[in-house]
């Protein structure tokens, strides 16, 4: 399965100075991909930025400005409420499936790593994060605006 690795850049960084490399020694890259590195074309990049799934992913966490290609993180209380509500529904669903004896360790692993079942990895600084780690750390970026930088192809 192919999925995007999305890197965020500071607003004032010119496009020609965006990072064009993926650190293959990064622990998350090693654990969650078996291949990565090709930069998406501008057309593919814009398709991700304008996708419904990306908007839905950040709903309640950050505002996605598709025209400016930025995200602005919401306030910590809104982020915490969004995540708490998500966790309530997620654990309820897992509980119901567990009662039916349909939950395996992989279901718990996926739930802990892939927020809203999103396999993308994100980078907003020094290291890559799973979608769940990224959302869990979103409160640290409350009020900040970041530009969507290069997007890389990955596979697992």
* 8 strand-pairing partners: 148
Query: Which whole number is the average pLDDT over 108-136?
Result: 97
Counting residues of the chain whose pLDDT is more than 90, the rounded percentage is: 97
Q: pTM for this structure?
A: 0.95
* Residue 125: predicted pLDDT: 87
Residue 130: exposed, middle, or buried by beta-carbon count in 10 A (0-12, 13-18, 19+)?
buried
* Residue 120: predicted pLDDT: 97
* Residue 47: predicted pLDDT: 98
Burial 99-119 (b: 16+ CB within 10 A, else e): eeeebeeeeeeebebbbeebb
Query: Which whole number is the average pLDDT over 10-28?
Result: 95
pLDDT tens column, 28-75: 999 999 999 899 999 999 999 999 999 999 999 999 999 999 999 999
* Residue 29: predicted pLDDT: 96
DSSP secondary structure letter of residue 41: P
Report the C-alpha gap between 139 and 153 in whole angstroms.
27
* Residue 40: predicted pLDDT: 98
CA 38 to chain centre: 18
Helix, strand, or coil (residue 59): coil
* Residue 39: predicted pLDDT: 98
Average pLDDT, the chain: 97
* Residue 126: predicted pLDDT: 87
Report the C-alpha gap between 51 and 20 in whole angstroms.
22
Residue position matching structure tokens 């809104």: 78
Q: How confident is the model at residue 137 (pLDDT cuts 50, 70, 90)?
A: very high
């Amino acid at each position: 399965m192919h999925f995007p690795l999305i890197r965020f850049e500071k607003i004032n960084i010119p496009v020609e100075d965006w990072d064009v490399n993926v650190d293959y020694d990064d622990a998350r890259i090693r654990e969650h991909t078996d291949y990565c590195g090709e930069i998406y074309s501008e057309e593919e990049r814009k398709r991700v930025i304008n996708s419904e799934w990306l908007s839905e992913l950040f709903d309640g966490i950050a505002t996605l400005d598709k025209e400016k290609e930025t995200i602005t993180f919401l306030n910590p209380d809104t982020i915490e409420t969004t995540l708490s509500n998500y966790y309530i529904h997620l654990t309820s669903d897992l509980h119901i499936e567990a009662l039916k004896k349909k939950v395996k360790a992989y279901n718990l692993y996926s739930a802990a790593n892939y927020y809203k079942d999103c396999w993308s990895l994100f980078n907003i600084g020094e290291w890559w994060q799973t979608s769940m780690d990224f959302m869990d750390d979103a409160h640290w970026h409350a009020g900040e605006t970041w530009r969507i930088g290069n997007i890389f192809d990955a596979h697992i």
